[in-house]
Chain A
Amino acid sequence: NAGVTQTPKFQVLKTGQSMTLQCAQDMNHEYMSWYRQDPGMGLRLIHYSVGAGITDQGEVPNGYNVSRSTTEDFPLRLLSAAPSQTSVYFCASRTGMNTEAFFGQGTRLTVV
């Protein structure tokens, strides 16, 4: 089992560029989420999904889009990157309400 796989691990973007952070899980988990980690702020929820075809906004959704066409994949799109989106991004998944979240290894994104 690979668990939760995020790609890429590192990325540098120029302001205004777009890109997609990939997240895939092979555990058949219904719940998937994207968080960003900033110094002194812990992790904050960007978007989440409770199943294929269902997504919703989290705490800091502006500037990000998501879709969930399959159970396995939950990509995060930055439409027009801004320096404020420089952060470490984590994808997480879990199977139900009373279960722990499994995290990917994170993507360090720098927007210059």
Chain B
Amino acid sequence: AQTVTQSQPEMSVQEAETVTLSCTYDTSESDYYLFWYKQPPSRQMILVIRQEAYKQQNATENRFSVNFQKAAKSFSLKISDSQLGDAAMYFCAYRSGLRGNKLVFGAGTILRVKS
């Protein structure tokens, strides 16, 4: 079974600075997708960024980028120029490319942004 581990329960960052959230996963599959979701206090789950395992290029979405290390099974999220609105719980998630009926989530990282 696949597992996703987020080793940082909480992180803090100063406004306008950069922060990196860690995620590692365990799988024997070669075809899969990785995601970062943001959950603000409103509880809504918002997709931040996705990465297909077959793509070597790291995904980017504006201030958000990932460092995807397939061999190391690592998928970290970098947030540049942090803003107060980035404060939220962040979840890393895995989905199989062959039997993709479920998302496997990590436990989450609470990100606090200081002004």
A: residues with CB less than 8 A from B are 31, 33, 35, 40-45, 48, 50, 56, 58-59, 88, 90, 92, 97-98, 100-101, 103, 105-106, 108
Report the Cα distance A86→B47, complex, angstroms. 25
Partner of B43, one of A48, A50, A58, A106: A106
Query: Are A42 and B47 interface neighbours, CB within 8 A?
Result: no
Partner of B102, one of A48, A88, A100: A48
B1–chain A nearest beta-carbon distance, Å: 9
Measured between beta carbons, the chain A residues less than 8 angstroms from B105 are 35, 42-44
How many chain-B residues does the 8 Å CB contact rule pick out?
Answer: 21
Query: Are B44 and A105 interface neighbours, CB within 8 A?
Result: yes
Q: Which of B43, B50, B91, B97 has the most CB of A within 10 A?
A: B43
Closest to B92 in A: A42
Interface: B56 (CB within 8 A):
no
B: residues with CB less than 8 A from A are 4, 33, 35, 42-45, 47, 50, 52, 91, 93, 97, 100-103, 105-108
A104–chain B nearest beta-carbon distance, Å: 9
A-B contact pairs, 17 of them (CB 8 A): A35-B103, A41-B107, A42-B4, A42-B105, A42-B106, A42-B107, A42-B108, A43-B91, A50-B101, A59-B102, A92-B45, A92-B103, A97-B100, A98-B33, A100-B35, A103-B44, A108-B43
Partner of B42, one of A42, A58, A88, A105: A105
Measured between beta carbons, the chain B residues less than 8 angstroms from A97 are 97, 100
